[in-house]
Amino acid sequence: MLFDRLKTFYVVVNHGGFERATQSVHLSQPASSMRIRELEKQLGVDLFRRSGRQVRLTDAGKIVADHTARLMITMSDMNRAIDELKGFKRGQLRCGATTTIAVHLLPRVLLQFKKLFPNVEIKVVVEKTAEIEKRIMADALDVGLVSGTMKNPSGFNINNFLTDELSSSRLPYTGLPNIERCGFSRSRDCH
């Protein structure tokens, strides 16, 4: 409520009177006058000297006008910052990754991300899958890029974005078993 009164006061001051200000604040002149009277009552001072249709700031009104102008700038800056945050134009991204991903894949991805969102601060933590899982659950990370199996996958929104292919190569005369015929978990059973 105080902010609405200060905003009305600010508009009245900048438009040089109540009549011109009413369109800007989308209020009738009586409603604008009432807000100013409520503000004066709340502050315990007269903000305007009224003479017919003309209004002039009192000394107290000049002080309130100065502070209100700064407040409006601050509010505008705050709203712009919030809008940027909503659009992910600024803020912080806390990312956890396992070593292989952090070394081989993440640098290229982060460069592309930074080009799109230059004002977003990126913090990277390199840990084992279990630790990244714990940190996400504790809200210490926003995103985790892991290559291991998670203990509690149902508690996460998981997107698979890369699948590794495992292949073997060997010289034909080594006498080693043909790993391609073995299931990965059964490799010790192959002859």
What is the chain's mean pLDDT, rounded?
80
- Reference 134, options 152, 160, 147, 161; nearest CA is 152
Give the orientation angle of helix 29-43 with respect to helix 18-25, to 10 degrees: 100
CA distance 127 to 62: 58
- Reference 68, options 135, 149, 8; nearest CA is 8
Beta bridge partners of 91: 120
Domains assigned to the chain: 2-85 (1.10.10.10), 90-155 (3.40.190.10)
For residue 97, the model assigns a pLDDT of 93
Percent of the chain exceeding pLDDT 90 equals: 26
Query: pTM of the prediction?
Result: 0.49
- Reference 146, options 113, 100, 112; nearest CA is 100
Beta bridge partners of 94: 123
> Within its chain, how far is the Cα of 93 from the centroid?
9
165 residue type, one letter:
E
91 residue type, one letter:
G
For range 141-147, the mean pLDDT: 88
pLDDT band of 40, cuts 50, 70, 90: very high
Is residue 95 within 8 Å of residue 145, measured between CB atoms? yes
Q: Among 19-28, 60-69, 138-147, 171-180, which stretch is predicted with the lowest mean pLDDT?
A: 171-180
For residue 124, the model assigns a pLDDT of 94
